[in-house]
Chains A and B, each alone.
Chain A
Amino acid sequence: MPAIFSPEANLTAKLGLIGLAGLLLGGMGWWWLWPRTEYVRHNHWFVEQKVPFSHQHHVSGLGIDCRFCHMTVETAATAGMPPTYTCMTCHSQIWTNAAMLAPVRESLANNTPLIWRRVTDLPDYVYFNHKIHIAKGVGCESCHGTMQDMPLTQKARTLTMGFCLDCHRDPAPNLRPPEAIYNTEWHRTADTPSPAVLAQLYHVGDRKLTDCSICHR
């Protein structure tokens, strides 16, 4: 009786099985990795806006404090976007004819709000409150990145659940002294109180910050 399989069949079968296992592992890896890539998370994507606002110019160039525009960051869940009026406090005096600023002038003249496309966004099932993070010593930079270096605003962190949990599991290293929260250039120095001291100062660690209901209410 002639052999049913040729001598190469063993090799083919082995390769096939290894390939299948590889495909399966690769697929699982892809399934795990792909949503976490910077590409999918839209990190460092520029979002086209009507007015190409530069944080680099206003923050590091002019030294305007974050709270001048995002004025409810200490009092409310949302940091707040500046009313057109805030832009025009300066731009009624300087760059009054800049073409780039025409939508701002029109907004004030016609009493129609400026519409900004979101750069950072969290899903609706996540509760996030700016006020408590500021009150507990988390700097803007921890989530928003180096805004002072962005000519156009981009998302700097993945903002996945893993990103939030990394900090909620051990918040102390990400805490800053109160005076450094809005400081875009701040770095830990020898004089900075240790993370443990800061955690005690802000009373962080008394609550389990990884409870589901902390963020999913």
Chain B
Amino acid sequence: MSRQWRGLDRLSRDPAFVARASAEFPQLAAALAAPRDRRGVLKLMAAGLALAGLGGCDDGAPGGVLIPPVLPPTDTVFSGNQMFATASVVGGYANGILVRHANGRPIKVEGNPLHPASLGGTSAIGQAEILGFYDPDRSRGLIRKGEPQAWSSLLTAVAAQREAIRQSHGQGFRVLTGSTTSPTLARQIAALKQVYPDMQWHRWEPVSRDAVRAGALLAYGQPVELVAKLGAVDLLLTIDSDLFDSAPGHLRFARDFAARRNPTRTDRMNRAYAIEPTPTLTGVAADHRFIAGPRDLARIVPALAAAVTGGEQPADMPAWFAPLVADLKATRGRSFIHAGPAQPAAVHALVHAMNEALGGRGQTYDLIASVEADPVDHAASLRGLIDDMNGGRVTTLLIIDSNPVFTAPGFGEALGRVAVSMTLTDGPTETGAKTTWNLPARHGFEDWSDARAYDGTVTLLQPQARPLYDGISPHYLLALFAGPEEVNSRDVVRQTHGLNEQQWHDALATGLVAGTRTAPSDVALKPVQPAVPMPAAGDVTLLIRPDPHLLDGRYANNAWLQELPRPLTKLTWDNPLLVSPAIAERLKLTNGDQVTVANGGVGVTLPAWIMPGQAPDCVVALLGFGRSDVGMVGQGVGFDVYPLTAGRGPVSLHKADGRAVLASTEHHDPLFEDAGDYVHHGTPPHSRQIRPSSANQRSNRRNTTASLAGRLPGA
């Protein structure tokens, strides 16, 4: 039986840590050391009860004031809290939410139980959007070259642009957006292309799903997307996966998975294996977690594919390999393998082939036509744009909801060669400061729009309040480039879906357009054997991942997301380099020591944080911090590691001078080992012993001899 611990210095009983923890709660250590004393406990309980009674005393004097409004809100009758459906859109994919209103103001985000991606759940980012809505740093007005402008000047400028672009058939006109699933935005850009046939639509999402898309193209010839049906999955294998933390539909997946984890609620518990270089939420939820660095994965995944699809028995594999293959084969049609977006396209293609071979298609997952509108390779798309900018082939650039100056090294320099550039953004960004025009966008809670969920369900975004500051919608701006008439974003969205009055009403009430889930595709697997590229050998392998809460940096000005401890590291307000214990030992690092990590010629100096459970050769840099132009909360917090994304190896890591103090909640409320094991581990038979009453419900449990399920964790 493994003993639980929190934090390495807690495990090693580092004297400095014990001293600090004891100083924080001096009575706690004494109380835990003292023998349990029934009389003392009763005395404290009685005192607690008496004090609670005193606290309940009401002196009877009425206090406070009542402040009614001067004018009643039109056409409304106040009835306490009200909820309105809309969506939180991350990486283009919608998650249905309900926004709670008090006195006509949005105050709280809840999940939308009717929405397939939510089922009533919201992510931390969804919850924090309410703070982003009230952010005083949001863009408030139109700025051209640093000077505030009147709205009429934008109309004049766009009219001039329209004329110029029309003459060149849109030759130098480029639109850059993030990943989008919005049918309305896609329709508007298609309409723009009708007017300007030679224009181009570029896409750039720094938290890239390029490999997922490319993997589907390799395996099926089409950019199909996976829809996991975890409720039907008995055996889940994840390879460096984001299934429960950031994949489109992750909230739904986590719920479906958890529903099959509680032995009192299900008679067929699922089993999960994870193979990953650095701990993820998916990995820590797994029954069996195997650590494998990128070089190991490049060797193991093809071997796994050969064993599963071809029945080969590759030599020189870890001890867990053969039982895992046997278990996968024993659960044919009830297993599902998922690879994360950081894995190369070939891994995704192999995973597709394995899933097909295991007969899960239609049972444990579906393939659907791409949910993303007009899917392209983002890296190639942006590279094309930067090349064209440098080559002087871009005259007008419209950047919507993207911050390439911060997230794409080299973009800022190329931007100087564009005659007219416009950024539409709802807060200050590095890109907005460099483009000719900086247009204030409406917040998602102030505007009409639409987006699709992971399964294709069309989700409507409706305004939750009148705009706090002057701003425009991307739909308005795109329409303005297409023609002189100013449109209302509500009309544009409604036109896209062609709903009648009743359907429109129902769609707004439920937050989604009924019956728009994408039907499963029957595309056939192509017989290819993609080769997984072997990462270059070296002492150190650099992995670059998005911060779990700030993602690519767009939420850096949200104090709630900055303050919320990251899963596993429990760090707040900082993004140290996560180093493996092996590297820490080699370089004699402790948490907070400054290190310089370099990729190619580019180096960044930042503190280190030891991450247990990380592959011995890996360091992980987290994106999203170090914003230089974002607002008073996120300005200069953490370290910008985007420069590292431009390097092409080799990676080096050195200890630098100095230390930084990092804020981690890992040591809050320490529990010493005297408190005993606070998490119980066991296998299903073990839990039957604990709860004999529910044992007979699961009498027909399946037993596989090759299974690792009987193994105790840590054994």
Residues of A within 8 A of B (CB): 35, 40-42, 47, 71-72, 75-78, 80-86, 107-108, 111-121, 123, 125, 131, 155, 158, 160
Contacts and interface: CB of A to CB of B under 8 A. Distances in A.
Contact of B70 (A78, A108, A131): A108
A113 B77 contact: no
Contacts of B58: 123
A81 B80 contact: no
A113 B70 contact: yes
A41 B60 contact: yes
B675 interface: no
A85 B71 contact: yes
15 contacts: A35-B60, A40-B60, A47-B62, A76-B80, A80-B68, A83-B68, A83-B70, A85-B70, A85-B72, A113-B68, A113-B70, A114-B70, A115-B65, A116-B68, A121-B62
Interface in B43-65: 56-65
A78 B71 CA distance: 18
Contacts of A120: 62
Interface in B76-104: 77-80
A80 B103 CA distance: 11
Given A72-B77, A77-B80, A42 B68 contact: no
B63 A71 contact: no
Interface in B534-561: none
Contacts of A116: 65-68
Contacts of A108: 70
Given A72-B77, A76-B78, A86-B72, A115 B60 contact: no
B70 A80 contact: no
B71 A84 contact: yes
B62 A118 contact: yes
Given A72-B79, A117-B64, A118-B64, 16 more contacts: A40-B60, A81-B67, A83-B69, A83-B72, A86-B72, A111-B71, A113-B67, A114-B67, A115-B65, A115-B66, A118-B65, A118-B66, A121-B63, A123-B56, A123-B58, A155-B62
Contacts of A113: 67-70
A116 B67 CA distance: 6
A138 to B, nearest CB: 18
Contacts of B63: 118, 121
B706 to A, nearest CB: 51
A45 B176 CA distance: 68
- Which 6 residue pairs spanning A and B have beta carbons closest together? A81-B68, A121-B62, A75-B79, A41-B60, A76-B80, A84-B70
Contact of A111 (B56, B66, B70): B70
Contacts of B72: 83, 85-86
Nearest to B60: A41
Nearest to B71: A85
A112 B77 contact: no
Contacts of A77: 80
B639 to A, nearest CB: 44
Given A76-B78, A76-B80, A115 B67 contact: yes
For B61, B62, B77, B80, the residue with the greatest tally of chain A CB atoms inside 10 Å of its CB is B62
A82 to B, nearest CB: 6
Contact of B64 (A83, A85, A121, A125): A121
B71 A83 contact: yes
Chain A CB within 10 Å, residue with most, of B60, B71, B77, B78:
B60
A123 B66 CA distance: 15
B458 to A, nearest CB: 33
A68 to B, nearest CB: 12
A123 B58 CA distance: 7
Interface string B129-167: 000000000000000000000000000000000000000
A42 B62 CA distance: 8
Contacts of A72: 77-79
Nearest to B69: A83
Contacts of B66: 81, 115-118
B70 A112 contact: yes
A40 B58 CA distance: 10
Contact of A76 (B62, B69, B79): B79
A171 B70 CA distance: 38
Nearest to B80: A76
A40 B69 CA distance: 32
Contacts of B70: 83-85, 107-108, 111-114
Q: Which of A107, A113, A115, A119 has the most CB of B within 10 A?
A: A113
Contacts of A114: 67-68, 70
B61 A42 contact: yes
A84 B63 CA distance: 22
Contacts of B60: 35, 40-42, 158, 160
B376 to A, nearest CB: 51
B68 A82 contact: yes
Nearest to B62: A121
